């Protein structure tokens, strides 16, 4: 060391989105850059709906066992639906900055696509509230896909969960989004 006083370090600059400066009111960070839960206390309640989708692709043997109901663990589609609903209700326990929500409805559908050898999971979450339900719909799809994987893994450990995405959301200040 040369004996000179060290210069104070500047905090790293936060990247900005291509859409322009980030709005402080919707960031999950405080003025010092620490993670925080967004304060939705001043927002009005609106009807909010979110739809998400994902898929589990599998081998022909696993798909045949799933579609014919011959899995050793039982009715995989029913288990996946229940896992998705249960996970949506627990989203705030899984995703740290999500608000606990009193969901009004969660629907989880599983469609078997023989040609693609996959189970397509779609979840719809609804609420009248101050914050959206996108994370609940996405969490429902994730859990349903994981439950399906658990049900078929004895036949196909190479099964792949594919592209879990938000298809649409409505309500709130940002309005409607459609993929």
CB of 131 within 8 A of CB of 46? no
Q: Report pLDDT digits (tens) over 58-84.
A: 999 999 999 999 999 999 999 999 999
Mean pLDDT score of the chain: 88
All structural domains of the chain with their residue ranges: 46-172
Q: What is the structure's pLDDT at 16? A: 44
Strands, E, within 58-117: which ranges? 105-113
Q: Indicate if 39 belongs to the active site.
A: no
Whole-prediction pTM? 0.81
Determine the CATH number of domain 46-172.
3.30.70.640
Exposed e or buried b per residue across 93-116, where buried means at least 16 C-beta atoms within 10 angstroms of its C-beta: eeeeebeebebeebbbebeeeeee
Q: What is the structure's pLDDT at 20? A: 43
d(Cα 65, Cα 33) in Å, to the nearest integer? 50
Q: Which residues on neighbouring strands pair with residue 98, listed in sequence order?
A: none
Q: What is the structure's pLDDT at 153? A: 97
User: What is the arithmetic mean of pLDDT over 80-103?
Assistant: 96
């Amino acid at each position: 060391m040369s004996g000179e006083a060290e210069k104070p370090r500047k905090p790293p600059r936060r990247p900005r989105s291509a859409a322009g400066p980030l709005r402080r009111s919707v960031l999950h960070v405080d003025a010092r850059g620490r993670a925080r839960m967004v304060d939705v206390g001043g927002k009005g309640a609106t009807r909010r709906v979110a739809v998400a989708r994902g898929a589990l692709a599998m081998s022909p043997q696993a798909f045949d066992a799933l579609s014919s109901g011959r899995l050793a663990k039982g009715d995989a589609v029913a288990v996946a639906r229940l896992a998705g609903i249960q996970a949506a209700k627990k989203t705030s326990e899984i995703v740290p900055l999500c608000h606990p929500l009193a969901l009004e409805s969660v629907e989880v559908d599983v469609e078997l696509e023989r040609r693609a050898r996959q189970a397509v999971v779609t979840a719809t979450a609804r609420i009248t509230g101050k914050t959206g339900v996108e994370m609940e719909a996405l969490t429902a799809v994730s859990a349903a896909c994981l439950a399906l994987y658990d049900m078929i893994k004895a036949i196909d450990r190479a099964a792949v969960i594919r592209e879990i995405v938000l298809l649409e959301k409505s309500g709130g200040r940002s309005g409607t989004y459609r993929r």
